[in-house]
Structure 1
Amino acid sequence: MNLFADIRALVIDCLDAMVAEGALPAGLSYDNVTAEPPRDAAHGDMATNAAMVLAKAAKSKPRDIAEALAAKLAEDPRVTSAEVAGPGFLNLRLDAAIWQGLIGKVLETGTDFGRSDMGADQKVNVEYVSANPTGPLHVGHTRGAVFGDALASLLDFTGFDVTREYYINDGGAQVNVLARSVYLRYLEAHGQEVAFEDGTYPGDYLVPVGQALKDKVGDAWVGQPEDVWLEEAREFATEAMMDLIRADLKALGVEMDVFYSEKSLYGTGQIEAAIDRLQNDGLIYEGVLEPPKGKKPDDWEPREQTLFKSTEHGDDVDRPVKKSDGSWTYFAPDIAYHYNKVERGFDLLIDVFGADHGGYVKRMKAAVSALSGGKVPLDIKLTQLVKLFKNGEPFKMSKRAGTFVTLRDVVDQVGPDVTRFVMLTRKNDAPLDFDFDKVLEQSKDNPVFYVQYAHARVNSVLKKATAAGVPVDNAALQAADLSALDHEAELAVAKKIASFPRLVETAARTNEPHRVAFYLYELASDFHALYHMGKNDEGLRALQEGNISLSQSKIALARAVSVVISAGLGILGVKPVDEMR
């Protein structure tokens, strides 16, 4: 139940009536007409911009349209007043019964409250994490994993058909480095002294992999040249690392639908097919790029290369897909991979990249635009860096990883729920400070505690009511006289609850799951404020001594708060708690 959508529908019905009466011309587009919260809550419950956005096409003054529209809206029993403001904005106040009745709807719907069919089953591929399979996930991957997983859940909640996908970067030279690193641990397992040189990975996480390799092949590879063991060691090491990555993701509550291997693109004709697709559209040519200003990228050569005309699809410069020696650039398999996504029939693609991939955004969007004939949008979300602190000091590296703090380091310190919520307390493209002490602090300044405490507080109220003989099962609360919720603070909480469906749809349209975390903190804050007001105003207390009916009304509101918090936390992949410890 989306009250904002309901009132927007009412506004449009009134506009249609004005057209029928000749007060407005026919053929007006209502696409930009909105019903939303006013900037200042003192101005009313909702505001519509209808007069402002229709005035030019209607060849009328916005205020004239607004005054006529206000008169129409005021005839509806849900609207207690419709006031024109400024040049033509329209502020509406709704009958209290609308907000009160919503509480019963929330209790009836449960944690599906806010769920919608906005996405109309469009197929969406959300690719996230996609770390090189050369070691455990680090804290930067953690943020991308949480963001991507929450976004996928948000889109599912709003009616999209979502596929969660991990792209295994197992086709590059870094996997050979991994194989050599594992081979060193293999030799170490045979009692040899080894030195990690030439960029090999020194982390302790490869010790058990080297031992497992020894268990598999014995001493067959000891002292053997690289051509004997490299390929098999690479396969063995990659699978071991992917097992580790899957376990790390599971610890965070992330499970993928698809793991897609970059290596599967090579030798199968898929890269060639993607480039041929671009070639057939006249987007591939042989040429020499101008030298870039500043630092030269890895794929620039001062000689003729095979180039993609990415500038015809919004990029700044054309991009190499094949080097002068005939080998593919890093970009070529990425083109083929996204062509595979297009061919799988997705209506929308979303990639979640780390901040260091910012230079890849335009070229990748250009490729998808070209490959899909402009029919499949690609949204790329960049997640900024995470700075870790403990006891006020930067958190030191993990010995196990060798060079960085791992996902497991974070989850083991604070748990998956705290990790996930905190990672969503900033917009994805803003830097995030993660302080291990503060995220466990029990205070209003800690959003995850504040939201969880609201849910636990409601649960405590339900227990006390049951002990006092007040029936608080769902049927009893749905049958409560909700008209008793007439205090301004109670209605404020009800109005905040009412905004959840609209908030969720807005977050899904913008691919911004952090909006849900922000909303939950605001809802918790409103509820805590109401709870504390009850300490001085007995009429606002959830338990009304000697009055079961009134108690049920108050508790119904509290229960609705916990339902919406559960729904919102579910989108974020966080479990609500019933008791704080």
Structure 2
Amino acid sequence: MNLFTDIRALVLDSLAALQAEGHLPEGLSFDNVTVEPPRDPAHGDMATNAAMVLAKPAKAKPRDIAEALAPKLTEDPRVTSAEVAGPGFLNLRLAGDAWEGIVAGVLRQGAAYGRSDMGAGQKVNVEYVSANPTGPLHVGHTRGAVFGDALAALLDYAGHDVTREYYINDGGAQVDVLARSVYLRYLEAHGQEVEFADGTYPGDYLIEVGQALKEKVGDAYVDQPEDVWLEEVRDFSTDAMMALIREDLKMLGVEMDVFFSEKSLYGTGLIEKAIEQLRSQGLIYRGVLEPPKGKQPEDWEPREQTLFKSTEHGDDVDRPIMKSDGAWTYFAPDIAYHYDKVSRGFDQLIDVFGADHGGYVKRMKAAVSALSNARVPVDIKLCQLVKLYKNGEPFKMSKRAGTFITLRDVVEQVGPDVTRFVMLTRKNDAPLDFDFDKVLEQSKDNPVFYVQYAHARVCSALRRATEAGIACDDATLAAADLSGMTHESELAVARKLAEWPRLVEIAARTHEPHRVAFYLYELASDLHALYNRGNEETQLRFVQEDNPAVSQSKLALARAVAVVISAGLGILGVKPAEEMR
């Protein structure tokens, strides 16, 4: 049930009628015709741009098209007026029973209201977090984890077949550094004094790993050369870090479907297979790149390299895939990993990276385009930095991590629900300030509290009604007489409820789960405004003990709000509150 889709269908049918009558030429494309909420609610319930977008191809004035379209629309009983505004916009007002139908529909459909088949079962791979397995997740990973998880849930809600994936970066030099750092903690566990050289990981989180290694191998590695212990300690340490990372993700309510190891690409022919696929298209060659921007000729040493001709697929420059010593560059396994994803039959790939990967976007898009013959689109989302504050000051570093603030630090301070919601109160590519004091405030300025409070308020009203002997199950409320829902505060809530299915599809199409958080805040604001009006105008109160029928009509609207808030919070991975403490 999507009222905006229904009214858009009415607009398109009316335009087709104008064509049949000769008022509009045949062959016009209606793809860009929209029906959406007006910017100013005073202008109406919905607005369409039909006349504006069709004027040029129809070789007609926008107002002339709008004035011919308006009477067609008002022939439908759902549309009470269609007013031409400005150069040719049409503002529509709907009959009261349209809003009554929305409320009843929400209660009948329950959690299914707003769900969409837009995705048509397309297979989408969402890769997120993918942190190096060298330590606990930090606050930057937290934002990426929340964003990726909410985006995956949103796409699932909109009808896609979603796989949540974590790419374990366990094939590079950083895991050797991890192994050496754990070895130092292992020696420490044997009573030796150690010194962490630059480049090693000094965080306290490795103390337990070193102790666990001692318990496993005893003193077998003490004072032994690196070639004796490096490989086994590396595997042991990586497993321990991934167990820690899984625990951190679980704290945040994040569960992955797939953990893919970079290490599995080496020595298995998978990298070579991906590169051969590019070579077969004439995209691999030996060549010399131009000096990077800003390099003076005397600083630049041109050398022949094996290159991927990524410029043929939209990149700015071609990219090296093999070093002069014959080893793969870091880009080669990433190409192979994405080739594996393409080979697994995904229709779309989404990568969620940190802000420092901005230069990586074009080359990865070029690789996927080449590997899939431009069949599989890849959208790379960058999550900007998070700045943490407490008591008006930047939050201090974590002693446990040594150099950064961990996901665990944040979740233990405010809980997973607050962490997740606040991380989605800004678009992913905008910086985010996370103030520990403000996110726990019980005020309108705290969006997570404001939304949770709206849901809890509805739950409280339903409990009061039940105590008063008023039936308020969803089936009863769906059948309530809503004809008295005429107050502007009530209609504002109903209009906002009608926007939910449209909002879901827009957010899913643009890969922007923050839109859900924004919408929930607006819906909560309308609910709170209605509730507060009830303090002055008793006929608006949700529970009127002397009039069960009126109570049920008011509770129907409130309960519909709770249904949508619960669904929206579910997408964000936040539990709805039934009472506030």
The TM-score range, normalised by the shorter chain, is over 0.9
Q: CA deviation at 1:294?
A: 2.9
Contact persistence 1:355–1:382 (CA under 8 A) = yes
Question: What is the rounded CA distance, in whole Å, between the counterparts of 1:209 and 1:242 in structure 2?
Answer: 12
1:459 and 1:482 map into 2 onto residues whose CA distance is 20
1:475 paired to 2:475:
yes
After TM superposition, the structure 1 = structure 2 runs for residues 292-441 of structure 1, keeping only pairs within 5 Å, are 292-294=292-294, 302-441=302-441
Aligned twin of 1:485: 485
User: Identity over the aligned pairs, expressed in percent?
Assistant: 81
The answer to which of 35-44 and 404-413 deviates more is 35-44
Contact 1:100 1:491 (C-alpha < 8 Å) held by counterparts: no
Question: 1:110 touches 1:563 (CA, 8 Å); kept in 2?
Answer: yes
Counterpart contact for 2:468–2:545, Cα < 8 Å:
no
Q: Please, which moves more after superposition, 233-242 or 277-286?
A: 277-286
SS at match of 1:28: coil
Q: d(CA) in 1 for partners of 2:243 and 2:530?
A: 48
Asked if 1:6 is matched to 2:6, the reply is yes
Contact map agreement 1:315 1:362 (CA 8 A) in 2: yes
Determine the structure 2 residue equivalent to 1:164.
164
Distance 1:301 1:112, change over 3 A: farther
Secondary structure of the residue aligned to 1:469 is: coil
Distance 1:485 1:172, change over 3 A: same
Q: By how many angstroms is 1:301 displaced?
A: 6.3
Q: Secondary structure at the match of 1:32?
A: coil
Matched, 1:18 2:18: yes
SS of match in other structure, 2:578: coil
Q: Deviations over 1:514-564 (max 9, x none)?
A: 000001011111110111111111111112241110011001111111111
Residue in structure 2 matched with residue 465 of structure 1 by the alignment: 465
> What is the deviation of 1:198?
3.7
Deviates more, 1:52-61 or 1:31-40: 52-61
1:451 alignment partner AA:
V
Decide whether the 8 Å contact of 2:384 with 2:432 is kept in 1: yes
State the Cα distance separating 1:495 from its structure 2 match: 0.3
2:254 corresponds in structure 1 to 254
Q: CA deviation at 1:30?
A: 1.3
2:472 and 2:301 map into 1 onto residues whose CA distance is 72
Partner of 1:80: 80
Post-superposition Cα deviations, 1:357-394, rounded to whole Å, max 9, x if no partner, equal 11101111111111111111111110000011111111
1:363 and 1:574 mapped to 2: Cα distance? 35
Equivalence for 1:291: 291
Query: Does 1:213 pair with 2:194?
Result: no
Residues 196 and 492 (structure 1), Cα distance of their counterparts in 2 relative to 1, 3 Å cut: same
What does 1:209-248 correspond to in 2, within 5 Å?
209-248=209-248
* Cα deviation, residue 29, structure 1: 1.4
Shift of the 334–295 alpha-carbon distance from structure 1 to 2, 3 Å rule, reads farther
Taking structure 2 as the reference length, the TM-score comes to 0.98
Q: CA deviation at 1:313?
A: 1.1
Equivalent residue, structure 2, for 1:105: 105
Deviation, structure 1 residue 86: 1.9
| Whole-angstrom distance in 2 between the partners of 1:461 and 1:6 | 32
In 1, Cα distance between equivalents of 2:251 and 2:548: 44
CA distance in 1, matches of 2:284, 2:39: 50
Amino acid at match of 2:108: E
User: Could you say which residue in structure 2 is the equivalent of 1:455?
Assistant: 455
Alignment of 1:260-271 (within 5 A): 260-271=260-271
Deviation of residue 186 (structure 1)?
0.9
Equivalent position of 1:92 in the other structure: 92
Distance 2:422 2:552 in 1: 34
**Deviation sequence 1:453-473 (CA, Å, 0-9, x none):** 000011111111111221111
1:130 aligns to what?
130
Q: How far apart are the structure 1 equivalents of 2:295 and 2:104?
A: 62
The answer to whether the 8 Å contact 2:35/2:49 transfers is: yes
The secondary structure found in structure 1 opposite 2:195 is coil
Structure-1 separation of matches of 2:460 and 2:152:
32
Distance 1:225 1:46 in 2: 74
Q: Give, in angstroms, the shift of residue 276 of structure 1.
A: 1.1
Give the secondary structure class of the aligned counterpart of 2:248: helix
C-alpha offsets along residues 68-92 of structure 1, whole Å, 9 cap, x if unaligned?
1111111000000011112221111
Do the aligned residues in 2 keep the contact of 1:129 with 1:145 (CA within 8 Å)?
yes
SS in 2 for 1:264: helix
Per-residue CA deviations over 1:336-363 (Å, capped at 9, x if unaligned) read 1111111111111100000011110111
Note the 1:117-196 alignment, pairs <5 A.
117-196=117-196
Pairing 1:530–2:508 present: no
Change (3 A) 1:301 1:191: farther
Secondary structure of the structure 2 residue equivalent to 1:499: helix
Compute the displacement of 1:400 (Å).
0.8
> 1:295 offset after TM fit, Å?
6.9
Does the 8 A contact of 1:121 with 1:159 survive in 2? yes
Q: Hey, what does 1:519 align to over in structure 2?
A: 519
Whichever residue aligns with residue 234 of structure 2, its letter is R
Which residue of structure 2 aligns with residue 277 of structure 1? 277
CA distance in 1 between counterparts of 2:548 and 2:484 reads: 12
After superposition, where does 1:31-46 map in structure 2 within 5 Å?
31-46=31-46
**Distance (Å, rounded) in 2 between the aligned partners of 1:290 and 1:29:** 46
Distance, in Å, in 2 between the alignment partners of 1:252 and 1:543 is 37
2:315 corresponds to which letter in structure 1? D
2:536 alignment partner, SS class: coil
Distance apart, 1:20 and its partner CA: 2.1
Distance 1:120 1:49 in 2: 27
2:399 and 2:323 map into 1 onto residues whose CA distance is: 39
Residues 561-572 of structure 1 correspond to what in structure 2 (within 5 A)? 561-572=561-572
- Could you say if the C-alpha distance between residues 350 and 535 of structure 1 is closer, same or farther in structure 2, counting changes exceeding 3 Å? same
The alpha carbon displacement at 1:221 in A equals: 0.8
> How far apart, in 2, do the equivalents of 1:461 and 1:279 lie?
67
The separation in 1 between residues aligned to 2:261 and 2:112, in whole angstroms, is 36
Q: Aligned partner of 1:115: which letter?
A: R
Q: 1:291 to 1:185 in 2, by over 3 A?
A: same
Matched-pair contact (CA < 8 Å) for 1:37–1:47: yes
> What amino acid does structure 1 have at the position aligned with 2:243?
D
> How many matched pairs?
578
CA offsets 1:93-129 (integer angstroms, 9 cap, x no match): 1001101121011011112211000000011000000
